[in-house]
Amino acid sequence: MIKVLSVTSECAPLVKTGGLADVAGALPLALAPLGVEMRTLLPGYPAVMGAVARGKVVLEDADLFGGPAKVLAAEAAGIDLLVLDAPHLFARPGGPYADAGGRDWPDNPERFAALSWIGAEIAGGSMAGWRPDILHGHDWQAGFAPWYLRDRHPGAGVGTVMTIHNIAFQGKAGVDRLPGLRLRPEGMTQDGFEFWGDISALKAGLVAADKITTVSPTYAGELLTPDFGMGMDGLLRARSGVLSGILNGVDLAAWTPPYKTPAGKARHKAKLRGEMGLPDSDGPLCVVVSRLTHQKGLDLLIDALPRLIDRGGQLALLGAGEKGLEEAFLRAAGHSHVAVRLGYDAALARLLIEGGDAILVPSRFEPCGLTQMYGLRFGTLPLVAYTGGLVDTVIDATPAGLRAGAATGVQFHPVTADALARALDRLCDLYAKPDLWLSLQKNAMRHPVGWDQSAADYLALYQSLDRQD
């Protein structure tokens, strides 16, 4: 039995803003059958505290970054939780990182340093009755955990893993916050947590951790380049010997289609058209479920959309984000074959995936991506940019892929509007051949997207670090 402490700022289904939460929620359940006992350390946001009201106090701190705190042990959604109950840091309205108006909490560096501090203290042996063999931190919010552990408990004999879910978020803070973050000035160097004159929580974790992972093999390679490394490519090249990419999976129970064959999609497609106010059409009904941001490449879709419409295709989009993109898609919805719903609605998101013919993911970079995997599972063929986890999960319908009977979608490169328009042409050509389209759908629905292989990869990683012997 290997004991792992997972330190994360999100964990589905308790609190979620993105894919990090899905991974943090899925890992304990996927690894348990393999002999991994994982406990998840999570901030005590109001929603989390509501789910663990009867938790047992297992650790207390009279002054945790500005106020008293305690750690509660509880179980929720089948996950063994350690919840950091620190009201001065987490008992706030809004989301995990921002207030109700979308403004980041100014003390975010201290809030998540506190989470990391407690993670390091548990790993260092401060909690009676349980101590992990492995400390596993996720993204910048847990970045100081390996650093604090190495600094405060150098002989703990606990292996450390740092997972990058999205390197664009680096947890930066001004050097004036060193004392408040309980960091020694000696760490403010190129070989420490200094990053272009600031403190970086993510860099602290990448420097201190024994192993570094990210969420797809292709993204692991991309991170070593200036185009994708976001200024940390040099550090990651230097540590490339301990860097690996382990692909995310999806919860197969939660994402089981309501039909066993692609023919079952027809009823859901009709329901989707009715919900979004779209007429019948001869071309593919393409769907998007996404944040509307530059990263997601949806500005490219605005430019390429006329090609899809000219070919008889349709677009149904659900999302929210940058105001300029929201306005552009609302203008595009003036066409009868384009429907846009701003915001997020879980039931509608699922209907889009159930009823769509194709799901579009034109991201400029995508560490892993789950949306395209949902599409595969539901026979909603992904059209994706050639980047990150999109490469690792979608097999392009090239002539070779079609001859081999392996293709599951369409990839495009370079990530430009022209290339996306050509890919939409290819998609429409495939859709115009019903027998071929059906075979692609069947391939997609058979494609493995669960956690089995990824869980085995994490187990091997943990075993390489387990220092019990």
Q: Could you report the per-residue pLDDT of 140-175, keeping only the tens digit for each?
A: 999 999 999 999 999 899 999 999 999 999 999 999
| Cross-strand pairs, 157 | none
Say what the pLDDT of residue 19 is.
Answer: 87
Number of domains in the chain: 2
Say what the pLDDT of residue 348 is.
Answer: 97
Q: Are 459 and 438 members of one domain?
A: no
Say what the pLDDT of residue 53 is.
Answer: 80
pLDDT single digits (tens) 339-381: 999 998 999 999 999 999 999 999 999 999 999 999 999 999 9
Domain containing residue 233: 2-249+452-465
Residue type, 83: V
In whole angstroms, give the CA distance from residue 213 to residue 201. Answer: 16
Say what the pLDDT of residue 101 is.
Answer: 87
Say what the pLDDT of residue 302 is.
Answer: 98
Alpha-helix residue ranges (DSSP H) falling in 8-98: 19-31, 46-51, 87-90
In whole angstroms, give the CA distance from residue 442 to residue 216. Answer: 24
Which residue shows structure tokens 């894919």? 19
Two tokens at 105? Answer: 């909490």
Q: Report the SS3 class of residue 454.
A: helix
Q: Evaluate whether residue 256 is within a structural domain.
A: no
Q: Evaluate whether residue 255 is within a structural domain.
A: no
Residue 314 CB coordination number (10 Å) = 25
Say what the pLDDT of residue 193 is.
Answer: 98
* Residue spans of the chain under pLDDT 70: 466-469
Q: Are 424 and 380 members of one domain?
A: yes
Q: What is the dihedral of CA 302, 217, 132, 5, to 10 degrees?
A: 10
Say what the pLDDT of residue 469 is.
Answer: 38
Say what the pLDDT of residue 8 is.
Answer: 98
Say what the pLDDT of residue 468 is.
Answer: 42
Residue 289's CATH number: 3.40.50.2000
Q: Are 37 and 126 members of one domain?
A: yes
271 is in an annotated binding site: no
